[in-house]
């Protein structure tokens, strides 16, 4: 069973860069049937897509965050990483790594079928 594990500091100072690494076990990040992504959930609120990346490095970002977000992939480590620059208190959230299924043998879909457990990131001085 594939699993995603988030790792990174739980506390980040305002104006600094939030860095998160997502490590995949039980599968290969190089599979062409999947993209890899990051979702966040502020305390008591709903889910927000941050961005996603293919194994080849093609990225898509939420326009609301695009100027501050970078997602990269390291296939040799079976990992992908998120950076959010110039953070403020509004970036405080639980951050999830997800696997996005993009294709089956018969059709294209785009849904998140594997989720990490999430990691809480607090922005505070």
Partner 1 sequence: EIVLTQSPGTLSLSPGERATLSCRASQSVSSSYLAWYQQKPGQAPRLLIYGASSRATGIPNRFSGSGSGTDFTLTISRLEPEDFAVYYCQQYGSSPLFTFGPGTKVDIK
Phi, psi (degrees; rounded to nearest 5) at 10: -85, -15
Q: Which is nearer to partner 1, 16 or 48 (CB)?
A: 48
120 forms part of the interface with partner 1 (CB under 8 A):
no
Instruction: Rank residues 41 and 85 by Cβ distance to partner 1 and give the closer one.
Output: 41
Q: Total number of residues binding partner 1 (CB under 8 A)?
A: 23
Q: Which is nearer to partner 1, 57 or 109 (CB)?
A: 109
Task: Name the phi and psi angles at 87, rounded to 5.
Answer: -70, 150
Q: Which residues contact 89 (CB under 8 A, 6 or more apart)?
A: 14, 123, 124
CA dist 61 and 121 (Å) reads: 20
Select the residue interacting with partner 1 from 48, 55, 83, 85 (CB under 8 A).
48
Q: How far is the CB of 76 from partner 1 (least distance, A)?
A: 26
**Interstrand relation of 11-12 and 34-41 (parallel, antiparallel or unpaired):** unpaired
| Contacts to partner 1 by CB under 8 A | 37, 46-49, 52, 60, 62-64, 96, 101, 107-113, 115-118
């Amino acid at each position: 069973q594939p699993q995603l594990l988030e790792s990174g500091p739980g506390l980040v100072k305002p104006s600094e860069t939030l860095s998160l690494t997502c490590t995949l076990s039980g599968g290969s990040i190089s599979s062409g049937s999947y993209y890899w992504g990051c979702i966040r959930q502020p305390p008591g609120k709903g889910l927000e897509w941050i961005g996603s990346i293919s194994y080849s490095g093609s990225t898509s970002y939420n326009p609301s965050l695009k100027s501050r977000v970078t997602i990269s992939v390291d296939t040799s480590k079976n990992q992908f990483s998120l950076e959010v620059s110039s953070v403020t208190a509004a970036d405080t959230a639980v951050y999830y790594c997800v696997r996005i299924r993009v294709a089956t043998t018969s059709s294209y879909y785009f849904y998140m079928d594997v989720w990490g457990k999430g990691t809480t990131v607090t922005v505070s001085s």
